[in-house]
Structure 1
Amino acid sequence: MRKVIALEFVTLDGVIQAGGGPEEDTSGGFKYGGWQDPYSDHVLGTVMKKQMSMPFDLLLGRTTFDIWESYWPYHVDQWPSVSTATKYVASNTRTSSQWQPSVFFGGDITEKVSQLKQESGPNLHVYGSAHLLQTLMKHDLVDAFWLKIYPLTLGSGKKLFTDGTIPAAFKMTESHISPNGIIIVNYERAGAVTAATISAS
């Protein structure tokens, strides 16, 4: 069974929009595009190399796919795995792309992703795709979050956790703190939320 893993670059206040560049995604009047790069360092680079070197396919929303489609085919030497991965794109408006291999699907997203998870193949990595993620989380289809948490707040922008978030417990499987203050942490699902009363020791 394949896992759905959300790999997100996120600010302290939960923004995941346009970390890569000023023109990446200006929707909603967002004006802080490119907030990731000033914090890049060798620890983040090592983690990214590891994650980009493992087998994976991509599961993307249409907006994120559009952004990636305009960049990655022209930078194949940077991360070849992005181009060779099958890109599954949730979209009701697009059906094809010259950037291959790409598979577009509309309609019932949860049914399609559930089917993909049952198929053989590498895990499905989700980057960006804020709207798609809300649907995946709402239907308990995300198995893990691999987060890079940056030491800044932006106050506005597309958020990682919004109305699609459900109660769920996670366990940490890996963590690093980079010299520039990025908290790099992997969480996997660990069942339901448990609660207890704090007792005085």
Structure 2
Amino acid sequence: MRKIIAATFISLDSVMQAPGGPDEDPTGGFKYGGWVFPHSDEETGKTLFELFEKPFDLLLGRKTYEIFAAYWPYIDNDNPIANKFNSVTKYVATRGDAELKWNKSRSLGEDVVAAIKELKAGEGPDLLIQGSGDFIQTLLRHGLIDEYRLVIFPLVLGAGKKLFAGGAVPCAMKLLRSITSPTGVIFATYQPDGPVKTGSFVGPDPSEEEIERRKRLE
């Protein structure tokens, strides 16, 4: 069985839009494209490359596919990430019928959820999501993401497409690994860990004032 891994750059407030440059995705009037660049250093680059060391195929939404297809095929294959991305299979969630010209690209078809479930149940390398903020909401909604490899940057963007947005379903998370770069970037790996557990610091005999406060909230 194959895992689906969301490897995502996010701000402290979960924004994932246009990390790579100002022209990447300015939709919605997003003004901060390229917010990753000022935090890049040798340690960050080394840790990022570890994401791509094990075999994987790419799982992409249409918009991210178009960004990647206009960039990575034109980068020298001496670049290790370009070499990986150009050689692996790209599974693309797209509602259109436009030709997917990038090498080894395949449409997930009309029923994306069914196609992904079939891929997960089959043989092959793990499926690595890059970007694809809109598509990720579908995967979240259906509980299809097995692991989150979050690269968390020390800034707040306030607005923009968020990782945990309309498709997010409440669940607990288990931290598997975390490290911090000299520029304050946190690399944290999580996996879903069942339902959210709750409790209370209030004793079994609340005050009359507390009881009245609760009534006002009903």
Q: Tell me the TM-score normalised to structure 1 length.
A: 0.95
| One-letter amino acid of the structure 2 residue matched with residue 159 of structure 1 | K
For the pair shown, the structure with the greater C-alpha radius of gyration is 2
In the alignment, is the contact (CA less than 8 A) between 1:96 and 1:103 conserved in 2?
no
Q: Give 1:77's aligned residue.
A: 78
For residues 24-173 of structure 1, the aligned pairs below 5 Å read 24-75=24-75, 76-78=77-79, 79=81, 80-173=83-176
CA distance in 1, matches of 2:97, 2:8: 24
In the alignment, is the contact (CA less than 8 A) between 1:95 and 1:105 conserved in 2?
no
Structure 2, unaligned runs of 5 or more? 204-218
Number of matched residues?
Answer: 200
Q: Give 2:208's aligned residue.
A: none
| One-letter amino acid of the structure 2 residue matched with residue 77 of structure 1 | D
- Once the 2 structures are TM-superposed, how far is the Cα of residue 40 of structure 1 from its aligned partner? 0.8
| One-letter amino acid of the structure 2 residue matched with residue 106 of structure 1 | G
**1:12 partnered with 2:12:** yes
Paired-residue identity, %: 44
| One-letter amino acid of the structure 2 residue matched with residue 192 of structure 1 | P
- Once the 2 structures are TM-superposed, how far is the Cα of residue 199 of structure 1 from its aligned partner? 7.5
In the alignment, is the contact (CA less than 8 A) between 2:61 and 2:132 conserved in 1?
yes
CA distance in 1, matches of 2:179, 2:88: 26
- Once the 2 structures are TM-superposed, how far is the Cα of residue 91 of structure 1 from its aligned partner? 0.2
CA distance in 2, matches of 1:198, 1:96: 58
Check 1:171–1:22 CA distance in 2 against 1; reply closer, same or farther (3 A cut): same
Per-residue Cα deviation, 1:67-92 (whole angstroms, up to 9, x for no partner): 00000001133211111111000001
- SS of residue paired to 1:146: strand
In the alignment, is the contact (CA less than 8 A) between 2:2 and 2:127 conserved in 1?
yes
In the alignment, is the contact (CA less than 8 A) between 1:95 and 1:104 conserved in 2?
no
- SS of residue paired to 1:59: strand
CA distance in 2, matches of 1:59, 1:94: 18
| One-letter amino acid of the structure 2 residue matched with residue 149 of structure 1 | I
- Once the 2 structures are TM-superposed, how far is the Cα of residue 28 of structure 1 from its aligned partner? 1.2
- SS of residue paired to 1:184: strand
CA distance in 1, matches of 2:85, 2:55: 10
| One-letter amino acid of the structure 1 residue matched with residue 153 of structure 2 | Y
- Once the 2 structures are TM-superposed, how far is the Cα of residue 105 of structure 1 from its aligned partner? 2.3
In the alignment, is the contact (CA less than 8 A) between 1:85 and 1:101 conserved in 2?
yes
- Which residue of 184, 189, 193 corresponds with 2:192? 189
CA distance in 2, matches of 1:174, 1:138: 25
In the alignment, is the contact (CA less than 8 A) between 2:92 and 2:108 conserved in 1?
yes
